[in-house]
């Protein structure tokens, strides 16, 4: 999957700290319930954070968000 790196990098940097954490945990395979328990927040709050991630990354599903997150993290390492 190809991304316009300047758009996605800027969008990823626009994520809040908590949105980045939630996206990282989703990318690591955690379920929304597991994330909620780990961060001591409600499942609804996890959904809200992911919705904000999708909006800011300009994608319509979490698979695309994970792909962007993973590609940019692999590049930065």
Residue 45 sits in a domain whose CATH number is: 1.10.10.10
Q: How far is CA 6 from the centre of its chain?
A: 17
CB neighbours of residue 4 within 10 Å = 10
Per-residue model confidence as pLDDT tens digits over 16-75? 999 999 999 999 999 999 999 999 999 999 999 999 999 999 999 999 999 999 988 876
- Do the beta carbons of residue 23 and residue 15 sit within 8 Å? yes
Domain extent, residue 72, equals 5-76
Q: Residues with Cβ < 8 Å from 11, sequence gap 6 or more?
A: 56, 57, 58, 68
pLDDT at residue 13, as a whole number: 81
Work out how many domains the chain is built from and give that number. Answer: 1
pLDDT at residue 1, as a whole number: 47
pTM of the entire predicted model? 0.83
Query: Count of H helices and E strands in the chain?
Result: 5, 0
Smallest Cα–Cα separation from 11: which of 72, 75, 74?
A: 72
């Amino acid at each position: 999957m190809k991304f316009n790196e300047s758009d996605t990098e800027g969008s990823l940097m626009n994520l809040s700290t908590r949105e980045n954490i939630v996206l990282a945990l989703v990318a690591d395979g955690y379920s929304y319930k597991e994330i909620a328990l780990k961060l001591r927040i409600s499942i609804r709050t996890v959904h809200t954070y992911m919705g904000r991630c999708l909006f800011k990354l300009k994608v319509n599903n979490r698979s695309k968000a994970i792909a962007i997150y993973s590609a940019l993290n692999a590049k930065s390492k």
